[in-house]
Amino acid sequence: MAQKPKVVVTRKLPDPVETRMCELFDAELNSSDRPMSSDELVDALGRADVLVPTVTDRIDSRILSRAGPNLRLIANFGAGVDNIDVATANTRGITVTNTPGVLTEDTADMTMALILAAARRVVEGAQVVQSGGFSGWSPTWMLGRRIAGKRLGIIGMGRIGQAVARRAKAFGLSIHYHNRKPVSPRIAEDLDATYWESLDQLLARMDVISVNCPHTPATFHLLSARRLKLLQPHAIVVNTARGEVIDEPALANMLARGEIAGAGLDVYENEPAINPKLLKLPNVVLLPHMGSATVESRIDMGEKVIINIKTFMDGHKPPDRVIPAML
């Protein structure tokens, strides 16, 4: 019987996923769920055939340079791979996979929730009630903004962007988007979506902005201080993608000065640290990176990781291999 591959998992995963991993592989689990330090990651890469990291693990070129001779696969538990130096891994003969698709609907749900929460001041209202400050209905109190009839600008029209568009269309928002290239005519017609080649022009004309693009060198601070200033004063910015896409200090300053109306953020530029200004603002809804945090999504992600490992170890091309040129 062939020896089972050594699979090191960096964080605690759902029980059904860990149980299946232990059945199929020589799996080393992290029951404490404490993030690994850089030295611990180096140690893990030194003894593993397969590493299963998450978004909190930075697998950079320095760490990869110290990988052991048996490391052949990094099966990321997550769709984004900005935590991994994929190009360096590729040059060292290490395959990288991810878990696309399975978190699309949940992340799109959270995006819609943040749009509604920011526009309708949901968190502010809940805090008033929970603190005992609700003294009765008033015709001019806690007024938010209607979203029906407003323009939604989606930055990044991949799987998640399209799922957001489907939901937003049902709420009566008109759909606009900026992407590296237009979606197919069929998708554009189905979503009634308008393509904007110029991001600057899109930002200047939208009521709501939703960030749904990956973090790459090309998208770092895509919403820079200059571009944020193009937004209208009543605009809302929502981000369920990656914090690095937005210049967070610039966004915090504009929100504090009332230069834009509000924001709904699930991700941050220096997670888990959050700009202190954002924490003090009443017009911001802040969530702890929970866009894909459903039982179903996390189990599906784990199953994808297992399929990628098993397919790779059986000598076949894993279904979710990440190619450096695609980044």
Whether residues 109 and 208 fall in one domain: yes
Check whether 256 has a pLDDT greater than 70: yes
Whether residues 137 and 109 fall in one domain: yes
Whether residues 83 and 149 fall in one domain: no
Per DSSP, the three-state class of 48 is coil
Whether residues 179 and 312 fall in one domain: no
Confidence of residue 113 (pLDDT cuts 50, 70, 90): very high
Whether residues 117 and 194 fall in one domain: yes
pTM: 0.91
Q: What angle do CA 86, 240, 63 make, to 5 degrees?
A: 25
Compute the mean pLDDT over every residue in the chain, rounded to the nearest whole number: 96
Among residues 205, 271, 303, 321, the one annotated as catalytic is 271
Whether residues 187 and 207 fall in one domain: yes
Tokens for 302? 């784990």
Check whether 326 has a pLDDT greater than 80: no
Predicted pLDDT of residue 2:
65
For the domain that residue 321 is a member of, what is the CATH number?
3.40.50.720
Distance from CA of residue 218 to its chain's centroid?
Answer: 16
Whether residues 119 and 261 fall in one domain: yes
Whether residues 224 and 304 fall in one domain: no
**N residues, the chain:** 327
CB 41 within 8 A of CB 67: no
Please state, as a whole number, how many other Cβ atoms lie within 10 Å of the Cβ of residue 43.
Answer: 15
Confidence of residue 325 (pLDDT cuts 50, 70, 90): low
Distance from CA of residue 241 to its chain's centroid?
Answer: 3
Which residues, including other chains, have CB under 8 Å from residue 155's CB and lie 6 or more apart?
A: 161, 177, 178, 179, 199, 202, 209, 210, 211, 212, 213, 222, 223, 245
Among residues 11, 20, 242, 298, the one annotated as catalytic is 242
Domain assignment present for 63 = yes
Whether residues 267 and 133 fall in one domain: yes
Domain assignment present for 265 = yes
Average pLDDT over residues 183-201: 98
Predicted pLDDT of residue 1:
44
Domain assignment present for 167 = yes
Whether residues 177 and 258 fall in one domain: yes
Whether residues 98 and 116 fall in one domain: no
Clarify whether 234 is annotated catalytic: no
Confidence of residue 132 (pLDDT cuts 50, 70, 90): very high
Among residues 151, 166, 289, 321, the one annotated as catalytic is 289
Average pLDDT over residues 184-212: 98
Clarify whether 257 is annotated catalytic: no
Query: Phi, psi (5° rounding) for residue 153?
Result: -105, 115
Clarify whether 197 is annotated catalytic: no
DSSP 195: E
Check whether 53 has a pLDDT greater than 90: yes
The parent domain of residue 18 ranges over 6-102+294-326
Total tally of structural domains belonging to the chain: 2
Domain assignment present for 1 = no
Give me the residues paired with residue 236 across strands. 208, 262
Predicted pLDDT of residue 327:
37
Give me the residue label for tokens 């990440």: 322
Predicted pLDDT of residue 324:
81
Whether residues 93 and 108 fall in one domain: no
